[in-house]
Amino acid sequence: MSDNYLTLSQVDMTFGAGGTANTVLKGINLQVRQGEFISLIGHSGCGKSTVLNIVAGLLRATSGGVIVDGREVNAPGPDRAVVFQNHSLLPWLTVYQNVEIAVDKIFRSTRSAEERRDWVLHNLAMVNMSHALNLLPSQISGGMKQRVGIARALAMEPKVLLMDEPFGALDALTRAHLQDEVIRIQAELGNTVMIITHDVDEAVLLSDRVVMMTNGPNATVGQILPVPLARPRNRIALAEDKIYNHCRQEILTFLYEKQRKVAPITTSRSSTGASPSAKVAA
Please tell me the predicted confidence (pLDDT) of residue 189: 87
What pLDDT was estimated at residue 230? 92
Q: Residue 278: its pLDDT value, please?
A: 63
Contact 213, 193 (CB under 8 A): no
The residues spanned by each domain of the chain are: 6-79+159-279, 88-157
Apex 160 CA angle, 156 and 163, nearest 5: 90
What strand order describes the sheet that includes 37-41? 80-83, 160-164, 192-196, 37-41, 209-213, 221-226
Crossing angle (nearest 10°) for helices 172-189 and 142-155: 20
**Class of residue 127 by CB neighbours under 10 A (exposed 0-12, middle 13-18, buried 19+):** buried
Which CATH class, in words, describes the domain spanning 6-79+159-279? alpha beta
What is residue 67's predicted lDDT score, i.e. its pLDDT?
96
Model pLDDT, residue 280: 60
Whether pTM exceeds 0.95: no
Q: What is the predicted pLDDT for the residue at 106? A: 93
| Full pLDDT tens readout for the chain, 282 residues | 456 799 999 999 999 887 788 999 999 999 999 999 999 999 988 999 999 999 999 999 999 999 999 999 999 998 999 998 877 899 999 999 999 999 999 999 999 999 999 999 999 998 989 999 999 999 999 889 999 999 999 999 999 999 999 888 788 888 898 898 888 888 888 889 999 999 999 999 999 999 999 998 899 999 999 999 998 888 899 989 999 999 999 999 999 887 665 444 444 444 455 444 566 654
Per this entry, what is the length of the chain?
282
Task: Check residue 262 and give its pLDDT.
Answer: 43
Cα gap 278→255, rounded to integer Å: 10
> For 269, how many CA atoms within 13 A lie in the half-sphere containing its CB?
10
